[in-house]
Homo-oligomer: A and B are copies of this chain.
Amino acid sequence: MLIVMKPTATQSEIDRVMEIVETLGFRPHAMPGASRTAIGITGNKGAVDRAHFENLPGVADAIRVTKPYKLVSKDLRPERSVIKVGDSEIGGEKLAMIAGPCAVESPEQVFQVAEVVAGSGAKFFRGGAFKPRTSPYAFQGKGEDGLKVLAEVRDQFGLNIVTEAMDEHGVDLVEKYGDCIQIGARNMQNFSLLKYVGQTRKPILLKRGLSATLDEFLLAAEYVMSEGNYDVILCERGVRSFGTHARNTLDLSIVPALHKLSHLPVIVDPSHGTGRNYMVDPLARAAVAVGADGLIIEVHPCPEEALCDGAQALLPGQFIELFEQVQAIRNVLQPAEETVALQV
Q: Give the residues from 187 to 244 in chain A that come closer than 8 angstroms, CB to CB, to chain B.
A: 187, 189-193, 195, 209-211, 213-216, 219, 222-223, 226, 239-244
Q: Which residues of B contact A187 (CB under 8 A)?
A: 189-190
Cα distance, A101 to B191, chains bound together (Å): 21
Q: In the complex, are the beta carbons of B239 and A249 less than 8 A apart?
A: yes
Which chain B residue has the least Cβ–Cβ distance from A227?
B136
Which one of B249, B274, B279, B329 contacts A332 once the chains associate, using CB atoms below 8 Å?
A: B329
Cα distance, A132 to B193, chains bound together (Å): 12
Q: In the complex, are the beta carbons of A215 and B253 less than 8 A apart?
A: no
Q: In the complex, are the beta carbons of B239 and A243 less than 8 A apart?
A: yes
Which chain B residue has the least Cβ–Cβ distance from A252?
B286
Q: In the complex, are the beta carbons of A214 and B190 less than 8 A apart?
A: no
Q: Give the residues from 118 to 158 in chain A that come closer than 8 angstroms, CB to CB, to chain B.
A: 132-137
Answer whether residue A3 sits at the interface, using C-beta atoms and an 8 A cutoff. Answer: no
Q: In the complex, are the beta carbons of B260 and A254 less than 8 A apart?
A: no
Q: Which residues of B contact A282 (CB under 8 A)?
A: 252, 255-256, 289-291
Cα distance, A240 to B209, chains bound together (Å): 12
Answer whether residue A296 sits at the interface, using C-beta atoms and an 8 A cutoff. Answer: no
Answer whether residue A250 sits at the interface, using C-beta atoms and an 8 A cutoff. Answer: yes
Query: How distant is A250 from chain B, measured CB to nearest CB, in Å?
Result: 6
Which chain B residue has the least Cβ–Cβ distance from A273?
B253
Q: Which residues of B contact A245 (CB under 8 A)?
A: 213-214, 253-254, 257
Answer whether residue A48 sits at the interface, using C-beta atoms and an 8 A cutoff. Answer: no
| Known contacts A289-B289, A329-B332, A332-B328; A192/B214 CB under 8 A | no
Cα distance, A191 to B285, chains bound together (Å): 33
* Chain A residues within 8 Å of chain B by Cβ, number: 69
Q: In the complex, are the beta carbons of A132 and B286 less than 8 A apart?
A: no
Cα distance, A223 to B193, chains bound together (Å): 19
Answer whether residue A42 sits at the interface, using C-beta atoms and an 8 A cutoff. Answer: yes
Cα distance, A33 to B308, chains bound together (Å): 36
Which chain B residue has the least Cβ–Cβ distance from A246?
B253
Q: In the complex, are the beta carbons of A244 and B213 less than 8 A apart?
A: yes
Q: In the complex, are the beta carbons of B252 and A283 less than 8 A apart?
A: yes
Residues of chain A having any CB pair with chain B under 8 Å: 42, 68-70, 132-137, 166-168, 170, 186-187, 189-193, 195, 209-211, 213-216, 219, 222-223, 226, 239-246, 249-257, 260, 273-274, 278-279, 282-283, 285-291, 325, 328-329, 332-333
List 20 additional contacts besides A214-B244, A256-B283; criterion CB under 8 Å. Answer: A68-B134, A132-B189, A132-B191, A133-B191, A134-B216, A136-B191, A136-B222, A166-B190, A186-B191, A211-B240, A213-B242, A213-B244, A213-B245, A241-B241, A245-B253, A256-B282, A285-B333, A286-B289, A289-B289, A328-B332
Would you mind naming 28 contact pairs between A and B with Cβ atoms under 8 Å apart?
A132-B189, A133-B191, A134-B219, A135-B219, A166-B192, A167-B168, A167-B193, A168-B168, A211-B211, A213-B242, A213-B243, A214-B244, A239-B242, A239-B243, A243-B251, A249-B249, A250-B251, A250-B252, A255-B282, A256-B278, A256-B282, A256-B283, A257-B279, A282-B290, A285-B289, A285-B291, A286-B287, A289-B329
